[in-house]
Chain A
Amino acid sequence: MQNTIKDSIKKALRYSNAEYCEIRIEETTETCVRIRGNDIESASENVFLGGNVRALSRGGWGFVSFNRLDNLNGKVEEASAQAKILGARIKKHVSLYPSDQVEDYVRGNFKKQAFAVPLKNKVRLLENYNRLILGSPKITSSSIYYMDKHTYLHFANSEGTYIYQEKMDLGGSLTAIASHNSLTVQESARFGSNQDFNVALGLEDEVIKAAEIAGQMLHAPVVEGGQYTVILDPDMAGLFVHEAFGHLSEADNLDEDERMKELLKIGTRYGSDQLDIYDSGIEGPNRGESKYDDEGVLMQKTYLIKGGIVSGHLHSRESAAKMGESATGNARALNYRFPPIVRMRTTCIAPGKYTFNEMLKGITKGVYVKGGYGGQTNGEMFTFAPSRAYMIRNSEIAEMVRDVNLTGNVFETLKNIDMIGSDFTFRNGPGGCGKAGQSPLPVAQGSPHIRIQKIVIGGKEK
C-alpha cells in the first residue's frame, strides 16, 4: 500500500507544469468518546482518507483537496492550472527557501499505541474516572472527553522529496461539575501526548483534586475587575506565551508587511535580560511535534526571544525566503483539507531563577492563576482564562475567586514580566490552536511560574 501510494504520487507530480508542486495523502483513524453525567453521550470510530495538491506559479498558489484518490494526475493538473491563472495576474517571483531532497520513512516509535487499546478498555477507564468524579462531594455532573488519532502521511514534491510519516495524537479532559441553585462551576484534569497512551492512566488523584476544587469554587466570589500583579502557574504561562508572542512570531503575518517586519525586527528589545522564549518541534515528546513539517522541512528549535531581545521568527519555506531567514519547520496543516501555514509546535518560556515564595513576596494584592482554560490574540492584545484563580494578599495565597479573564497589550506585558521561576513543566492538553479556519491543531507549551505586573482582569465593578 505504502509503495503504491508513493509510486502514484511521484508519477502524478510529473503532470505539473508549475514552478513547484507537492502532494499530501493522509489516512487517519480516530476514536472519540464523550461521557456526561451518568451516560456515555457519544462514541464514534472514524476513518478519514484524502489528499491534496498544492502548486506555485509566479506568486500564485493553487490548492485542490479531495477524497477520491483515483485521479491524482488530474488533480495535479488542476492545481497547477489554478496557480497559472493566478500567476498570470500576479506576475511576481516567489521563491521557496531551499530544502534538501529527502527520502525518508518515519515509523511511529510509540511508547504505547492508543489505537492498539481496545475501545472497551478505553471506555472502562473513562467510566472509572467518571465514577470518581460523580462520587465526590458537591459534584452534580461530569464531562469526560477522549480522542485518539493514528495517521499515515505521505508527502512528495516536485523537487524529488518523498517522506512517509506515521503519527499518533491523543488527548482528553476529565471535568467535574458542581452546581448549587443557579450557579454551575467546573474544574478538569487534562492529558495529551503524541506517543504514549499511558498519559491517560493513573489520573485518579488529579480527578479527585479537580472535583474537590469544583466544589470549593461554588463558594468563590466573582473576581473584582482591575489591574493586578499576577503570578501564572506553568500551565497558564505556557498559554500566555503561545497567545502573547507565539502568534506574533508567525512570519506569514510579517513577510509582506514592512511595518510588522519593523515591529518584530531581530534585535528589538521586548523583555528583560532574563526572558528567553522558543518554539520547538524536537522538545518532547509533545503534541504537534514530528520529524518533518508539512512541507518536508525538519522540525527544529527556534529562539524567538533571547535575553529579552527578538532573535527569530517561525517560518514556512515561503516566508523564510521572503524574509531572508531559514525555514524552521513550522509549516503545518490541520489535515489534508488544508494547505500548510505557519503554526507553532511546543512554545516555551525557558526557566529562570526565582522560587514561588520569592514571587509572592511584596505582593499586597494580586492574583494567582492556574490551569490554562483558553486564550486568544489579535496581534497586539491577548486574553487568556485560567481554570481557577486565587487572590494573593500580603504575600500569601488567599481566597479562591472565579470568572477570571485576563488581558494585556503584548508589548507592554512582555516588559512587565519581572520574575521567571526556576521550575518548568510541559503542558499537553486535549485542545489545540486555531488560525485561518484550521482548528484545533495539536500544540503544546512549556514554562515555569512567571510573575507579571499590571495585568488587567475583567470582572465585576468595585
Chain B
Amino acid sequence: MKRLLGDAASKGLEATLITSETKTVSVSFDFNRLKTIKDTESLNMNLQVIKGNKLGVANSTRVGGEKELLENAMNVADFGPKINYKFPSPEPHANPEVFCQNVEDLTVDKMIALGEELMKFIKSLDPSINGSVEVEKNILRKDISNTHGLNARLLKTGFAISSGFQFVKGQNLLNAWDWDVSTAMEYNLERIQAKLKEDFDIGKNNTSVEPGLYDVIFTPMGFSDLINPIVTCLNGRAVMRGISPLKNRLGGKIFSPLFSLTEDGTLDKGLGSQFYDNQGVACRKTPLIEKGILREYILDLESAYRLGRQPIGTGSPEGANPNNLLVSPGNMPWNNFLKDMEKGIIIDQTMGAWAGNPYTGTVTGNIALGYLVRDGKKVGRVKNCMFSLNVFTHLKSNLLAMSRETKNLGSMVLPYCLIEGVSITGSDS
C-alpha cells in the first residue's frame, strides 16, 4: 500500500488508496428447507489520483495488480473530472462501535440453528406455505491511506437475519418478510415471528378499497420510499448543478416541524458507520433537516467546495453518499396511530415507488403489502391499487405524527409515520 502511494507520489500525483477485504458467510433456506451455504471472499482496491487538477479513478480485484491499478488511474486522469480539492490531511475520527466478536465467532451450525427455528415457525402457519430464511454474517477490513499521511484501518462486522414466506391460494399470492440487521448479534426472533404471523393471518383476506384520499400509516419499510427522493434532492451534486428543488434553501422551512433527518457516520452499530469516507474525510453526525428546516446537504469534497460548505464525511469519488440516515422518532407508540384511525391504510411494502422522478417529489407506487384499517383494526389486505403523494407537500402540510419506535433498515433508521390525504387509486376507480 505504502509502495503504491510512494510510486504515485514519485510521479507527482496526489493519491488515495482504499483496500477493502470482505468475508461473507450465509446460510439460506428456500421452499421450507435448508438449501445453500455461501462463503464469499472479496478484495477490492480503489485508487484515486489527482493529476494536475484532474481526478483519475481505478478499481481492481486482481491480487498483486497494484501497478496496473496505478496505470489505469493515471490513464483515466487525463480525461477525468476537473476538481477543486486536495485529498485531506489526517484528522481525528470518532470510534463508533462497529465490530462484534460474537459475529466473527458465529459458526455455520449456529446460523443453521437460527434459520431452522424461524423455518419451523413459518411452516407452522400453514402446511402449504413456502418459507425462506437467510442468516448472514460478514467481516470487513477496510484500509484507507493517502499521500498526505492518512493511514487508518477499520474492522467492521455485519449480521442479518431475514425471513419471509409466499402463500398461494388460487391466483392470490401473499408475500411477506421481515428482518433484523446490525453490526452486532442483535436480533429478535419473537418480533419477526409476530410480524409474519400477523401478515399471514390478516394478509390472506383481501378487501377492496375505494379510491380517494386516506390517512396512511407508513411502516419504516414503507416510509423509506418517501425518504429516497429527499435524499436525492439533498445530494450536494444535485444542488451544485441546480437540479435539486432544495438549492438555495438552506435555513428554509421545507417540511413539518415533526420531521428531522440526520446523517450519522459515527452511529454505534450502524451498518454504514466508518472512520473516514471514501475521500478521507472523517465521518461525523450532521443534522440535514432539523424540525423541518433545511440545515445541510449531503456533500462530497467537490460539492462542498462549490457550495461553500464544509465536507461532512459522506464523500466518494463518484459523489456524495450518506452513511446512516436517521429520522427522529416521535413520542407516541405506533399502535396508537392504529387505535385512533377510523378509516385508513397501512402501507408496509411497495413496488415501483422508486421509479418516479425524484426531483418532483412525487412518489407513486403499488401497495405490495398493505392493510385497510377500520375503527382501529386491520380488516384485510388491499391490493391491485396504488398510492400517490408528494413528499414536499405531504411531509410539510399533511404529516400528523412520527412513532416512538424505530426500525434499523440497514442504511436508514426510521419510525412509523402517519400522513393524511394520501391518494389511493384502485382497480375499482
Q: By the criterion CB–CB under 8 Å, are A456 and B360 in contact?
A: no
Q: By the criterion CB–CB under 8 Å, are A120 and B78 in contact?
A: yes
CA distance A426 to B365 in the complex (A): 27
CB distance from B168 to the nearest CB of A (A): 4
* Nearest neighbor of B352 in chain A, beta-carbon distance: A383
CB distance from B80 to the nearest CB of A (A): 5
Among candidates A45, A83, A90, A375, residue contacting B72 with C-beta atoms closer than 8 Å: A45
Interface status of B53 (Cβ within 8 A of chain A):
no
Q: In the complex, what residues of B have CB within 8 A of residue A63's CB? A: 36-40
Interface status of B2 (Cβ within 8 A of chain A):
no
CA distance A227 to B112 in the complex (A): 47
Q: In the complex, what residues of A have CB within 8 A of residue B170's CB? A: 263
Q: By the criterion CB–CB under 8 Å, are B362 and A47 in contact?
A: no
Q: Identify which of B94-102, B179-187, B241-249, B337-345 touches chain A.
A: B241-249
Among candidates B41, B212, B318, residue contacting A34 with C-beta atoms closer than 8 Å: B318
Among candidates A120, A339, A373, residue contacting B79 with C-beta atoms closer than 8 Å: A120
Q: Per-position contact with A for B245-268: 1 when CB-CB < 8 Å, else 0?
A: 100000000000000000000000
CB distance from A279 to the nearest CB of B (A): 21
* Nearest neighbor of B71 in chain A, beta-carbon distance: A45
Interface status of B356 (Cβ within 8 A of chain A):
yes
Q: Identify which of A9-17, A64-72, A326-334 touches chain B.
A: A64-72
Q: In the complex, what residues of A have CB within 8 A of residue B207's CB? A: none
Q: By the criterion CB–CB under 8 Å, are B40 and A90 in contact?
A: no
Q: In the complex, what residues of A have CB within 8 A of residue B65's CB? A: 47, 49
* Nearest neighbor of B82 in chain A, beta-carbon distance: A39
CA distance A90 to B36 in the complex (A): 11
Q: In the complex, what residues of A have CB within 8 A of residue B72's CB? A: 45-47
Q: Identify which of B147-155, B384-392, B404-412 touches chain A.
A: B384-392
Among candidates B37, B68, B243, B318, residue contacting A41 with C-beta atoms closer than 8 Å: B318
* Nearest neighbor of A123 in chain B, beta-carbon distance: B79
Q: By the criterion CB–CB under 8 Å, are B352 and A457 in contact?
A: no
CA distance A408 to B171 in the complex (A): 13
Q: By the criterion CB–CB under 8 Å, are B58 and A45 in contact?
A: yes
Q: By the criterion CB–CB under 8 Å, are A339 and B81 in contact?
A: no
Q: By the criterion CB–CB under 8 Å, are B351 and A337 in contact?
A: no
Among candidates A59, A258, A377, residue contacting B351 with C-beta atoms closer than 8 Å: A377
Interface status of A184 (Cβ within 8 A of chain B):
yes
Interface status of B124 (Cβ within 8 A of chain A):
no
Interface status of A409 (Cβ within 8 A of chain B):
yes
Interface status of B88 (Cβ within 8 A of chain A):
no
Interface status of B383 (Cβ within 8 A of chain A):
yes
Q: By the criterion CB–CB under 8 Å, are B425 and A456 in contact?
A: yes
Q: By the criterion CB–CB under 8 Å, are B59 and A263 in contact?
A: no
Q: Which of A209-227 contact B (CB under 8 A)?
A: 222, 225-227
Q: By the criterion CB–CB under 8 Å, are B80 and A43 in contact?
A: yes
Interface status of A458 (Cβ within 8 A of chain B):
yes
Interface status of A108 (Cβ within 8 A of chain B):
no
Q: By the criterion CB–CB under 8 Å, are B386 and A458 in contact?
A: yes
CB distance from B203 to the nearest CB of A (A): 12
CB distance from B60 to the nearest CB of A (A): 4
Q: By the criterion CB–CB under 8 Å, are B386 and A381 in contact?
A: no
Q: By the criterion CB–CB under 8 Å, are A67 and B43 in contact?
A: yes
Q: By the criterion CB–CB under 8 Å, are B61 and A48 in contact?
A: yes
Q: By the criterion CB–CB under 8 Å, are B426 and A260 in contact?
A: no
Q: By the criterion CB–CB under 8 Å, are B384 and A408 in contact?
A: yes
Q: A140-B242, A461-B213 are in contact. Are A64 and B351 (CB under 8 A)?
A: no
* Nearest neighbor of B241 in chain A, beta-carbon distance: A37
Chain B interface residue count: which class?
A: 35 or more
Q: In the complex, what residues of B have CB within 8 A of residue A43's CB? A: 56-57, 76, 79-81
Q: By the criterion CB–CB under 8 Å, are B388 and A458 in contact?
A: yes
Interface status of A259 (Cβ within 8 A of chain B):
yes
Among candidates A49, A79, A259, residue contacting B61 with C-beta atoms closer than 8 Å: A49
Among candidates A85, A263, A461, residue contacting B171 with C-beta atoms closer than 8 Å: A263
Q: A41-B319, A380-B173 are in contact. Are A141 and B242 (CB under 8 A)?
A: yes
Q: Which of A370-429 contact B (CB under 8 A)?
A: 373-385, 402-403, 405, 407-409, 411-412
Q: By the criterion CB–CB under 8 Å, are A383 and B351 in contact?
A: yes
Among candidates A177, A257, A259, residue contacting B243 with C-beta atoms closer than 8 Å: A177
Interface status of B63 (Cβ within 8 A of chain A):
yes
Q: Which of B150-173 contact A (CB under 8 A)?
A: 166, 168-173
Q: By the criterion CB–CB under 8 Å, are B243 and A184 in contact?
A: yes
CB distance from A360 to the nearest CB of B (A): 22
Q: Which of A226-280 contact B (CB under 8 A)?
A: 226-227, 256-260, 263
* Nearest neighbor of A33 in chain B, beta-carbon distance: B79
CB distance from B106 to the nearest CB of A (A): 15
Among candidates B60, B212, B244, B352, residue contacting A384 with C-beta atoms closer than 8 Å: B352
Interface status of B86 (Cβ within 8 A of chain A):
no
Q: In the complex, what residues of B have CB within 8 A of residue A226's CB? A: 211, 425, 429
Interface of A with B (CB < 8 Å)? Answer: 33-34, 36-37, 39-50, 52, 59-70, 78-79, 82-83, 85-86, 89-90, 92, 119-120, 123, 140-141, 177, 179, 182-186, 222, 225-227, 256-260, 263, 337, 339, 373-385, 402-403, 405, 407-409, 411-412, 454, 456-461
Top 9 A-B pairs, shortest CB-CB distance: A383-B352, A458-B386, A184-B359, A225-B425, A256-B31, A385-B355, A259-B168, A380-B173, A458-B364
| Contacts A41-B81, A403-B356 known; 10 new A-B pairs at CB < 8 A | A40-B82, A42-B81, A44-B317, A47-B59, A225-B425, A259-B128, A339-B38, A383-B355, A403-B360, A407-B352
Interface of B with A (CB < 8 Å)? Answer: 30-31, 33-43, 55-63, 65, 68-69, 72-73, 75-76, 78-82, 108, 112, 128, 130, 166, 168-173, 175, 211-213, 237, 241-245, 317-319, 349, 351-352, 354-357, 359-360, 362, 364-366, 368, 383-388, 392, 423, 425-427, 429
**A–B Cβ pairs within 8 angstroms, 26 of them:** A40-B79, A40-B81, A43-B81, A47-B61, A47-B62, A49-B60, A49-B62, A63-B38, A64-B38, A64-B40, A67-B61, A119-B76, A177-B243, A179-B243, A179-B359, A182-B245, A183-B360, A184-B245, A257-B168, A377-B351, A380-B171, A385-B352, A403-B364, A407-B352, A407-B385, A461-B423
